[in-house]
Chains A and B, each alone.
Chain A
Amino acid sequence: MQAVLEGLLYIQGDIGLTLQQVMDIFEIDEDEAKNLVLNLKNYYEQENRGLRINYLGNTFKLTTKSEHRNYYQKLIENPKTHLLSSQALETLAIIAYNEPITRNQIDEIRGVDSSYVIRRILAKGLIKECGRDDSAGRPILYKTTDEFLDYFGLATKDDLPKIDSLEEEDTSKTLNDLYQSKYSESN
C-alpha cells in the first residue's frame, strides 16, 4: 500500500492527495489513512530521501526539500520568481482572517479601493467567490482557497499566524454568546 501511495503522490504532483482520496482509493478509514501517509512520510525521512511528503493546502504533496534549494537554483538559469505585491499580501491577510468577506468590507479596512487587487488574487486562484452577502445589493463574498494555503506553505487554516487582538475579539464574542444564552435562559 505504501508503494501505491508513493506512486499516487508522484502522479498527482502539485494537485496532491486529500485524506479523503486516500481513504476512498484504499477503502480504509480515516485513522488508517492517516497512518499510511504518516508511515510513508517517516520512511522518507529515515531513508534520507531527496523528496519529502508535505501537507500543504489541505492536501498531501510530494515535494523537494527546502534545504536543497541552493542546488536547484544552480540548475535553473532564470531564478526570477514572481512575488505578490504588499497590496495583495495585505488584502489576502484581511480576507483570510475575516472570511467570508465582501469587497466593501475589505475597502473599509484598507481605506482604499481594492477591486483591482481582488481581481488579481482571484485570477491567481488564491481566493474565490463563495456566495453572496444578504446585505443591500447582495455583494459577492470572498474566501481564501487551498491554493492560498499552499502558496504560503501552510497545511490548514489553523497554521495561519495568530493575531493577538483577533483572539481578544473572539473571546469577547464567546463571552457575549454566553451572556446571551444566559439571558435567553432566564427568559
Chain B
Amino acid sequence: MDYNVKIEEFEGPLDLLLHLIKQSNIDIYDISILEITNQYLDYINKMEELNINVASSYLVMASELMEIKSKSLLPQDKKDNIEEDDEEVSREKLINKLLEYKKYKELTPTLKELELKRKDIYIKPPEIQTNYVDTIKNNDDVTIDDLLQAFRSFLDRKEQEKPLLTKITNKEYSVKKRKANIKEILLAKKRIEFSELFDTVNKPYVIVTFISILEMVKEDTINLKQDKNFDKILLELKVK
C-alpha cells in the first residue's frame, strides 16, 4: 500500500483514525479494532521511518489501541466475562469519541465558508471621539477582557501604520573583527577601561564584545587588571 505521509494534515490521532476509517470505506460502527490498530501502527511506523517527529499524543492512541487489541486476542475464558465486556466497552468508548470528534470536524468547512463570506464585507473602525470627551471616563467595572480588547485594537492600529513593504537588515558583528578592533584601540590607547568597550548598547554587540575579550585573554594577548573588588577593570596589551 502506498502511503503519502503528511503528518501536518492531521490535527491529532483522532483525525488520523477518522482518515484511516474513511480510506478503508467502513462505517465507524463496524470498525474492527484489529484492522484499525494494524493500519494505525503501520502509519505511525511509516512516519518514524521517514524521520517525522511523532507527537506523543499519537503514541498514546497507539498504546490504547494495542491494549484493546491485545484484550480481544486473549483466549476468552467463559468464567471471565468481565474481561470480554471490558474490551467491548473500550471499543465503544473509542467509537463514541470518534463520533464526537467527527461532529466538530465536519463543521469546520462550514465555519471556513462563513469566515470567508464575512471577509466580503467591510466595516470601518469607530470614529475617534476625543473631541467629545472632557475627562477620561473610568468605570469601575473594567474587566481583563476590556484590557485585552484595548491592547488588541492598539496593535491593530499599529499594524495599519506600518509601511506596506519593509526590508529588515541585520547588522552582523563578528568576534574576529571586534578582536582586531579592540587590539587597535589598545595599541592606540595602551590601557582602556572594560566598560568603555561597550559603547553601543545592543545585545549582539555586547555579546560579541564580551566574547572577544574572553578570547583575547585566553589567547594571552591582553591582560585584565582589577585592583580591588568592584573596582574598574582595566585592559592592556600584553607585551611579548
Contacts and interface: CB of A to CB of B under 8 A. Distances in A.
A93 B13 contact: no
Contact of A110 (B11, B116, B123, B124): B11
Interface stretch (A30-38, A79-87, A172-180): A79-87
A99 interface: no
B105 A125 contact: no
A128 interface: yes
Chain B contact surface mostly: helix
A65 B121 contact: yes
A26 interface: no
9 closest A-B pairs by CB: A112-B12, A153-B118, A13-B126, A66-B120, A111-B14, A152-B114, A14-B123, A69-B120, A89-B108
B90 to A, nearest CB: 15
B117 A66 contact: yes
Given A13-B127, A83-B115, A86-B108, A109 B100 contact: yes
Interface residues of B, number: 41
Contacts of B55: 112
A110 B14 contact: yes
Contact of A152 (B115, B122, B127): B115
A10 B57 CA distance: 49
Contacts of A166: 103
B122 A63 contact: yes
Nearest to A16: B123
A153 B126 CA distance: 18
Contacts of A129: 144
Given A14-B126, A61-B123, A77-B164, A165 B99 contact: yes
Nearest to B111: A89
A11 B122 contact: no
A62 B126 CA distance: 11
